[in-house]
Amino acid sequence: MNRLTTLSGQFSHLNDNPSRVAPGNSDDVVICAALRTAITKAKRGGFKDTYPEDLLANLLVALLKKTKIDPSRIQDVCIGNVLQPGAGALGSRIGMLMGGLPVSVPVNVVNRQCSSGLQAVANIVAAIKSGFIDVGIGGGVESMSQFDMMRTLNPEKLSEKVFEDEQGRNCLIPMGLTSENVAEKYGISREAQDQLAKESHDKCVKAQEQGLFKEEIVPLNVKVKDADGVEKEIIVDRDDGARKATTVANLAKLKPAFQANGTTTAGNSSQVSDGAALVLLARRSAAEKLRLPILARFVAFTVVGVPPDIMGIGPAVAIPAVLEQANLSMDDIDIFELNEAFASQAVYCVKKLNIPKEKLNPKGKPLTSCTPDSFLMLGRGGIKCCNEDVVLFYINKREAINHFQSD
- Write the CB contacts of 174 (distance below 8 Å, at least 6 apart in sequence): 258
- Write the CB contacts of 273 (distance below 8 Å, at least 6 apart in sequence): 39, 40, 41, 42, 45, 142, 144, 241, 369, 370, 371, 372, 384, 385, 390
Percentage of the chain modeled with pLDDT above 90:
69
**Choice between 2 and 80, residue whose per-residue pLDDT is larger:** 80
Helices 343-353 + 314-326 axis angle, to 10: 40
Angle at the Cα of 60 from the Cα atoms of 95 and 207, rounded to 5 degrees: 120
Q: Is the dihedral of CA 384, 141, 406, 22 positive or negative?
A: negative
Angle at the Cα of 266 from the Cα atoms of 222 and 311, rounded to 5 degrees: 100
Nearest Cα residue to 143 out of 314, 272, 262: 272
Q: How far apart are CA 392 and CA 34, in angstroms?
A: 7
Q: Give the pLDDT confidence score for residue 93 in this predicted structure.
A: 98
- Beta-sheet strands, E only, within 296-380: 296-304, 335-338
Answer yes or no: is pLDDT of 6 > 80.
no
Query: With contact defined as beta carbons under 8 Å apart, do 403 and 232 qualify?
Result: no
Q: Give the pLDDT confidence score for residue 400 in this predicted structure.
A: 33
Answer yes or no: is pLDDT of 394 > 70.
no
| Per-residue pLDDT band at 382 (split at 50, 70, 90) | very low
Percentage of the chain modeled with pLDDT above 70:
83
Please state whether 259 falls in left (phi above 0), alpha (psi between -120 and 50) or beta.
beta
Angle at the Cα of 26 from the Cα atoms of 301 and 395, rounded to 5 degrees: 50
Q: Is the dihedral of CA 355, 357, 359, 362 positive or negative?
A: positive
Report, as an integer, the average pLDDT of 320-348. 91
> Residues in the chain, how many?
407
- DSSP, collapsed to helix, strand or coil, labels residue 390 as coil
Query: With contact defined as beta carbons under 8 Å apart, do 374 and 383 qualify?
Result: yes
Q: Give the pLDDT confidence score for residue 368 in this predicted structure.
A: 59
> End-to-end CA distance of the chain, in Å?
9
Number of structural domains (the chain) is 1
- Could you give the maximum distance between any two Cα atoms of the chain, in Å? 60
The HSE-up count of residue 94 (CA atoms within 13 Å, CB side) is 10
Q: How far apart are CA 286 and CA 249, in angstroms?
A: 54
343's enclosing H/E stretch is helix 343-353
What CATH number should be reported for the domain holding residue 389?
3.40.47.10
Beta partners for 80? 110, 140
- Beta-sheet strands, E only, within 217-374: 220-225, 231-236, 273-283, 296-304, 335-338
Nearest Cα residue to 147 out of 222, 58, 48, 231: 48
Report, as an integer, the average pLDDT of 151-176. 85
Q: How far apart are CA 273 and CA 278, in angstroms?
A: 17
Amino acid identity for residue 169 in this structure: R
Q: How far apart are CA 278 and CA 338, in angstroms?
A: 20
Answer yes or no: is pLDDT of 246 > 60.
yes
Phi, psi for 116 (deg, rounded to 5): -60, -45
Nearest Cα residue to 278 out of 229, 206, 216: 216
Q: DSSP state, 347?
A: H
Nearest Cα residue to 394 out of 407, 406, 384, 380: 380
Amino acid identity for residue 234 in this structure: I
**Number of CB atoms found within 10 A of residue 108's CB:** 16
Q: Give the pLDDT confidence score for residue 374 in this predicted structure.
A: 39
Answer yes or no: is pLDDT of 275 > 50.
yes
Range of the domain at 174: 2-406
Answer yes or no: is pLDDT of 379 > 70.
no
pTM, 2 dp: 0.87
Nearest Cα residue to 150 out of 114, 125, 182, 175: 175
Average pLDDT, the chain: 85
Q: How far apart are CA 213 and CA 195, in angstroms?
A: 24
